[in-house]
Structures are given as C-alpha cells and as structure tokens.
Chain A
C-alpha cells in the first residue's frame, strides 16, 4: 500500500477546514485511507540518521497517509484534496479537457522502429502556462516518484519524463541507439557522458541503480531527442539536464515511455489531471501527437470519460440496503463518479472520469456507493444459506490422532515446512538426489532452500533448542511434507506424516516401538503379518546399523523406526541417544 506524505497545514488549508488528528483519522477511515503516522521531517531524519543530522530540519507536521494500491488519483496532495472535497460535497468534481494549442500545430513525438525491441510505447502531453511554487513543484516530482514505484512497477512498465518545453523544440523523436552512440549531460551532472559511461556511473547510485537492469543487457537503449538533437531523456533511467523543470518553468512537456500501453495512458492521465489545476486554464491539457513507425498518429492524453449504466436495484441488492435511485446517484457523485438518473426504470448513468482507472466493472461502482453510504451504516444480516458441515477426512484423522498421542505422553511440536537442503540430506546421511525434494528458486536464506521431505529434522532441531529441559524428551508432530510427484498438475504433492522422537540417556527403542504399537491400536490395525502390521529389519543410513526396522501395513511399507545413527545425533548438535519413528498416515484413511 503506497504511503503519501503531505504537510498537515497545507492539507487543511486546501481542505478549507482544520481537523483534530482524531477527526482526520476518522475521515480517512471512512474514505478507505489510513492516517498511518503523524511526524515531521526532523523526526524522520532523527529516527533514520540520528539526532545530530536532524538539527535544522523542518518541524512542519507531516501526515503519512496510506492510499489503496489502485487509487493513483490519491497519490499527491492535489488528488487527495480533490477527492475529499468532492466526498464532503464542498466541490464538484472538475471536468478534465484535452485542448488543441491556441496557435499552430500540436507538439509531435515521433516513434521510430528501433524502439520495438526495447520499449515500444510512448505517449505525451503539454501542460501550458502552469505556475509552480516550491510546494507544487515538490508535489509534481513526488507524484512521478509514487507512480514510478507503483503502477509503473519501478519504471519497468512505464517511465515518466517531464521537461521545460521552452528549452527544447519539437518535433521530438523517440528512438533507440547503441549505448556508445548516446551522449548527453544527464540531470544534475556537470558534463556529458555516453550511455555506457552512465550505466557504470549509476551502478553505485542508491536510487538509480535499481532501474539499470531494465535496459542494461539490450543492444539499443531508448532515447528521446528534440529537433536539434538535444537529449530530453534516456528512459527509464534519467532525463537530460538541459530540459529540466525549474520553478520558473511555464510550459511542461510530459512524456511516458512504456512496455505496457494501457498503463502508459493511465500514468499520463494521472500526471496531467493532477497538475492541470495550476494551468492558466485549469483542468485543460494541451494535446500532443504521437506518430507511430507505420505512420499512424494518435492524440494524447486520452482523458477518456466512460459511461456505464446500472440499476439502483443492483446496488441495493449487492450492498444490502434500500435507497432510492436518486440517493444512489448522489452517493456515487460524491465519489467523483458523476451520476444521473436516466428516468428509465431505476437506471442510473455513471460517468467514470480518467482519474478513476480503478473502476473497471459495475462492482467497482457498487463499492463506491457502499463507501459513500458508509460501510458502518449497512445493517448486519444473516444469510439463510443452509449447509451441512464436513471435515476434511485427513484433517479429522489428524485431529483425533494428535489428542491420543499427547495422551500417550508425547508433546506436540510444530516445525517449518521449509528448511535447508542439508537438513533433509547430509545431516540425515542421505543424498539430496534420493529425497524427491521440491527446490525453491529464490530463497533469501539457507533456511528456505527446500520443502521438507521428512518431519525428523524439525523434531531433532526442536530437541537441540530445548536441551536444557529435563530428560527424557518425547516429541511428536503430525504434519505435511512435500514430495515431487509427476502425476499431479503442479508436479508435487503433500504427504501427511506422523513422526515421534525419544531422547534420553538410553536409546529407548522399546519406547518408540511401544508408541508405534499404541498408534496401530488407535488405528485398529492388528499386530500380524498380512492384513495387520509388522516391523522388519532394514538398512537406512539415518539409523544406527542393526537398529532400524521398516513398518509394513497390509504388506506395504509405510515408514521406519529405529535408533538414530550417532553421526546424525552429532550433526543436529545433540549428545544423547535418540530413537525415532516416522510414517505416512494417509494409508489409514
């Protein structure tokens, strides 16, 4: 969930009302936001870098507000204020308009064929006669950063470039070139670098190094030139210094390059709808023309308003309320979804503005009606759904067995399903190749290399962590292990196991054997060859030679028991003899 930091006093000034922290928190809750933290720049710096660094930093109160991940229109002060003002009926949602330039042709962005292999899409627009202040400028930069981190998926899907239009001249060309052939002075640098040099320069940049991988291994890098060959940007890494925005900038050229066109359009719409407020003609955006390699042209920003029709009955039925068509239309209008009663039955026509890219289905509209109504005003009802409960048979068996194993004097352990490769192989005296283990591709630590194929290592680690406890230690676990299995759609399956260990000064094979006998008694399996169960000597490198037996039920092997090999005991940092049993319980269903 993205968090937006806004200056409290600036926010209240824009809202035209001063709230207490509690009141504002309450408003956020109602609107699906969360006032996550009340802080200041000084407090943040002092927390992250120490008090000494914080001296001199601003004391201005900041609200950190958590915004739902699909509400890109609430990622800056401008959008938050607009949304809340409309919600509070203090403002009518503005209408965003795309306009042609007052004189001459629209700005052109020509896409060349070379971009196809690296970053094929680009869209653009112009914010004409904008007035920046320090606060507006900061918010403008911050919104780009928030969009980059969220919908743009760290610039991999979309990258935004904003330029002082008066420093460059169109038409602009979006092309791709070998890195050695791209040379320009990047933002906030004093000299020119080639793209190759930039990539190594930014290797150590705490911010930019995260984006290098997007184009690093491509033969051609994307780049935007003006008609004089000035580099506007090398997306998605860095803009040129030449066209950078300042507080004095009057006309802004916004370009978005992308691998996902839908998202590029949304991002462009967000940038211009949020900041066109500060243009001399508020909420108007000057169009730009994008020319595709095949000669086709397209005008941006789209600023598309979409209309949906739905019935008030639909909303009432889905939410569980009973409001008039007019009321529901009014509720939706509060959510920036301008709605009108059509007069045809209980039909409502809802207009979805370009800022609400999250609304993709009638259910999204229904939710906004419910939010405007107030979730906490909806009466609780009990559905009359009649059903008979059933337990999952394997879980039922597990629950019953657990109770009786505890009654047999053993204590239940609960271990992780993930572990290191070593835990299930070397430490047990086994080869990893014979384990049928499922391997994890991206473990952050060795503890998550594989899914366990046996419960034994977990129990032995539990013993090791509790060596200070009085002996004997008697532990059990009934849980799932994971094994590769080609017959399953995903190529693996869980297997429910029962495992128990006895740890004492003497091996206590008879104790573990007794527990097996008791378990079989609980499962109504008689001690006899054939139909019943029996154990028979077996070779297993986990166990002490001559001290291991295989468990057979109805002639089929279900598990093993025995005295653990001293090497196994040592590898798990244990010092006493230990006997163990492990078997499948699924055959007993």
Chain B
C-alpha cells in the first residue's frame, strides 16, 4: 500500500468509525506493520486539525529467547534427564551440551540424576529414576511451587510496552488530504492560489542563516567614530602619513632636550637606512638651537650643547605631535594668523617592553586648537565636550609633567564599574619655547590632548589581550561577531 493510499484508507476508517479507531487494531486489520501506521498518523497530525490522536500504552508479556527455547524443547533439566542413556554419560560429555551446565545443577537438586565420581574414566552421570522425581514434585508444598513459578517467569519472559494511538476526527476533518505549502511562490501570487492554500507554520525558535558578508575591523570602527566626533566638533584632519620622522620634528621642535630619556634607544626606534634627515627650515632650526642651548622668548632654556647631529637622526615617530609641530610651523608661516582646530588618529611607535596591553606600535588620537587667548579653562571645556561624546561626563584633572606642555594635565574619568578614577588621556598647553621659535604670534595659545585608540577599543569590545585585536594574531571570529560601534552608549 502506497503512503498516500494508506493515509486515505486510514482517514476513511476514521470517518466510518464511531468515536475513533485504535492504531494497533487498525494495523492488524489493514495488515500493515504497526510502526508504518504510526508514521501515517504522525504525518496526518502535521496537517493542522485534520485528526487528533491520543497516545495510549498497554503492557504485554512475551516469552524471551530462553523462554521460547524452553517452551519448544522442554526445560534445561528435563533435556539433561532425557539426554542421559541408561548406561549413563560421562560428566564431561554432558557439560559440552548447550543446556548442560544449568540443566545439570537443576536436575541434581531435583534429584533426577546422580553422579558416580568413582567411575572408571572420570565422573559419570546416571538417571536416578522417574519415580523418585515425581515423588519429589508431589511432596513439594504449595509455597514452594509459587517460588518455582516466579523464578520461571523472571527467567523466561519479558515485559513489553506497546504504544498505540486512539485516533479521532479533528476540527477540520476531511478524507482528502491537502498538503500545506512551505513557501509562497511566484505562481501562487500570479494565480491567486495562495488564498486557498494552507501554509506550514515557521519555527521562530530557530536562528536564521548567517549572511555572506565582509566585516570591518573593530579598531577601525572605533577610529571611524573618533574621526566622526572630531569632524562634528569642527576639527580638520592632519596628514599623518609619514611614519619616518626626524628627531628634529619629533623632539627638538617640541623643546624636548636632547638628553631626554624618551630619546634613548630603549624607548625609540632609530633608523639605520635612511639614517639621517637632510633638509630642515634653516632659520627655524637656528631658533630651535638657540632656545635649547641659550634660552630666549622669556625662557632660561636648557643651557646645554645642542647638536644638529642629534636632530638629524631619523626615527619612527614616537607620537603624532611631530605632525602637529609641522602643521603649527606651517601655520606660523602664513601671512596672517588664522585660528585652527586639528586632529589626527594614526600609528606611533615605541621600542618598549611588550605585554598584554602594550605593543611596539599603537594608534594615537590627538586634538589641537590654536587661537588667540585660549585658557586652561577652555582646554577643560573642550575636553568635557569631547569626552561627553564618548559617554564620559565626570572628569577630573591632575597636574602632570610633559616637556612640551605647560600646564600639563592628566585627564581622569570616574569609572562606575571599578568605582574609581581612571586615566583616560593627557592634555596641556604647548610651551612658548615651542611656539615662539616657529613664529606664531605671542598671544596665540595652543592647547592639545591625546589618548590611545587601542585602550577605549579594548574596553568597548571586552578584549583583554591586545594581540587578539591588533596584528596578524587577530581572532577573526571576534571580527566577524563584532557589533557596530556607538561610543556614547
């Protein structure tokens, strides 16, 4: 019987029946395996409200394999008894029979057989006579009989549960089957058949299929947001695409003395090829030399022997402030000063000891404002606006030291999770010893601040090891799974 045929036959039987039908009974009437019929019931159940089925179970006793053997050939002990010829059988022979071992001990305890251990050629088994056995049986009490019976039941039968269905008509019962549609098709839309169709319900618990797509890197997503913040605040992006910088622009122009520890090989990557920079604005260079070695512009200077050789040394820039210095120098060369707001987010390099949060290269975020008459309060106000856009509103400032800013302030924010103040950036007002030799007007103040891009990103995306974020050891799954970046939330 074909599947469809069985389904329809079953439906007709349900229609004809009073109340309902039993699956087990129906299976035997139709002459199909019960499991096949259960399959048919289940596929009918999938069609909404066509039928309803109630699961019933009944217990049956059935002989086990051993039980069947006993039923057909007699008990083990009986077979032992009958297999012993009148002249007896060597015990070793008996034990070779499949029922030998069990049957022997039972028959012995029933006293149907006996063993002659002294017999020539090893122990030999003899029948002890049927009469004796029957006498034993007759003499057994009622109670002992029960025990024998129970043991027999345990040994020879299995309990078996049969599951069946009591099948009745559903609210939408019909003897014809209309299979529900899985999906809407162009044809259904064209011919309007969707109106008549039934549709298979969706499983809303399952996940959808992952889209086949590319992903942006989390650090770059955060960079995009920081860029956005600066642009919203009217800051112009500086050209920071020059990783190789001369010590002059990286240190000397910033009034960082030549013996400063930051200029040590322990902290800075020096370049062996091309080792030296060969072109400087010479008049400016002389003014820088003078401010370091003799002072001027109201400054005592550092009073040491400033050397061009030290300034010429090429390095991998240690901060993007080297670019800010170039930009401010350029600004100072304008005929007339115009206020500027600059920013940059780019790589800087430090020859430092590496650990879980420090790499030899990282991204520095920097903001710079140059205008006449800016105050320390203005710097704090801008920092407040900037950090508010990052969702940080509670700020505190700590006096700090930096060779090229005075005053210098470390920026702290209150971390609600850690319940303490944590450093979030550095800031300050560029020293006159840096600005005046460039040629900027005396009343121009330049305020600036900086922070790393990696740290807020690691906090944002919950990353503990920086190597999982930056560099080739990146965890691509993390990149695939990363959410969009909204810094303020």
- The interface of chain A, by Cβ under 8 A from chain B, is 1, 29, 31-32, 34, 68-71, 153, 157, 260, 262-263, 317-321, 358, 360-364, 366-367, 370-371, 375-376, 378-383, 385-392, 394-395, 399, 402-403, 405-418, 438-444, 447-448, 451, 458, 461-462, 464-466, 469, 473-474, 476, 480, 482, 484, 488-494, 496
Contact = CB atoms under 8 A, between A and B. Distances in A.
B316 A389 contact: no
A367 B351 CA distance: 31
Contacts of A476: 214
Contact of A405 (B214, B360, B373): B214
Given A381-B377, A412-B215, A416-B471, A375 B234 contact: no
Query: Which of B239, B280, B300 has the most CB atoms of chain A within a 10 A radius of its CB?
Result: B300
A320 B397 CA distance: 15
Nearest to B231: A389
B191 interface: no
Nearest to A475: B476
B407 interface: yes
Nearest to B339: A385
Interface centre among B302, B349, B375, B408 (most CB of A within 10 A): B375
B472 A458 contact: yes
Interface of B: 212-217, 219-220, 224, 227, 230-231, 233-246, 259, 261, 265, 269-280, 295, 297-305, 314, 316, 339-341, 347, 349, 351, 359-361, 369, 371, 373-378, 380-382, 384-385, 396-401, 406-409, 429, 431-433, 445, 470-477, 479-480
B407 A366 contact: yes
A373 to B, nearest CB: 10
Contacts of B376: 318-320, 370, 375, 378
Contact of A491 (B235, B278, B470): B278
28 contacts: A69-B401, A263-B304, A320-B377, A360-B301, A361-B432, A385-B369, A385-B371, A385-B374, A386-B234, A387-B340, A390-B236, A402-B216, A403-B216, A406-B214, A407-B213, A409-B213, A411-B217, A416-B361, A417-B361, A418-B361, A442-B351, A448-B269, A466-B474, A491-B244, A491-B274, A492-B271, A492-B314, A494-B242
A348 to B, nearest CB: 15
A441 B234 contact: no
A406 B216 contact: yes
A494 B429 contact: no
A34 to B, nearest CB: 8
Contacts of B213: 406-407, 409
Contacts of A395: 227, 237
Contacts of A394: 239, 241
Given A71-B401, A441-B272, A411 B314 contact: no
Contact of A414 (B212, B272, B302, B470): B470
B224 to A, nearest CB: 7
Contacts of A319: 375-377
A375 B432 contact: no
Contacts of B431: 361, 363
B298 A438 contact: no
B479 A381 contact: no
A76 B431 CA distance: 28
Which 4 residue pairs spanning A and B have beta carbons closest together? A320-B377, A320-B375, A491-B274, A32-B399
A362 B474 CA distance: 49
Contact of A438 (B235, B271, B374, B479): B271
Contacts of A489: 246, 277-280
Given A383-B382, A412-B220, A440 B271 contact: yes
Contacts of B297: 361
B351 A444 contact: yes
B270 A492 contact: no
A371 B397 CA distance: 10
A412 B214 contact: yes
B381 A380 contact: yes
B236 A412 contact: no
A399 B400 CA distance: 35
Contacts of A440: 269-272, 316
B385 A382 contact: yes
Nearest to B375: A320
Given A480-B243, A493-B242, A387 B235 contact: yes
A31 B220 CA distance: 38
Nearest to B236: A390
A453 to B, nearest CB: 12
B217 A361 contact: no
Nearest to A483: B244
Given A381-B381, A439-B271, A360 B215 contact: no
B460 to A, nearest CB: 15
A411 B259 contact: no
Contacts of A458: 472
Given A389-B234, A391-B227, A412-B214, 4 more contacts: A371-B399, A375-B407, A462-B472, A462-B476
Contacts of A490: 242, 244-246, 274, 277, 314
B241 A415 contact: no
Contacts of B279: 489
Given A361-B433, A388-B234, A442-B351, A409 B269 contact: no
B274 A451 contact: no
B377 A380 contact: yes
A260 B472 contact: no
A490 B245 CA distance: 6
Nearest to B272: A441
Contact of B400 (A32, A361, A448): A32
B292 to A, nearest CB: 11
A408 B216 CA distance: 11
Nearest to A457: B472
B378 A382 contact: yes
A474 B212 CA distance: 11
Nearest to A407: B214
Contact of B269 (A410, A442, A461): A442
A376 B396 contact: yes
B350 to A, nearest CB: 11
B146 to A, nearest CB: 67
B378 A375 contact: no
B382 to A, nearest CB: 7
A441 B396 CA distance: 41
Given A262-B304, A367-B406, A462-B472, A414 B217 contact: yes
Contacts of A442: 265, 269-270, 351
A146 to B, nearest CB: 14
Contacts of B234: 386-389
Contacts of B474: 413-414, 462, 465-466
Contacts of A69: 261, 401
A319 B381 CA distance: 12
A21 B246 CA distance: 45
Contacts of A474: 214
- Which of B236, B280, B398 counts the most chain A CB atoms within 10 A? B398
Given A442-B270, A443-B269, A411 B378 contact: no
Residue among B238, B242, B278 with max Cβ neighbours from chain A (10 Å): B242
A439 B217 CA distance: 28
A389 B236 contact: yes
Contacts of B280: 489
B136 to A, nearest CB: 75
Query: Which of A321, A367, A371, A403 has the most B CB atoms < 10 Å from its CB?
Result: A367
Nearest to B470: A414
A411 B399 contact: no
Contacts of B480: 411
Contacts of B274: 438, 484, 490-492
Contacts of B385: 382
B246 to A, nearest CB: 5
Nearest to B232: A389
A465 B472 contact: yes
A496 B243 CA distance: 12
A379 B377 contact: yes
B411 to A, nearest CB: 10
Contacts of B339: 385-387
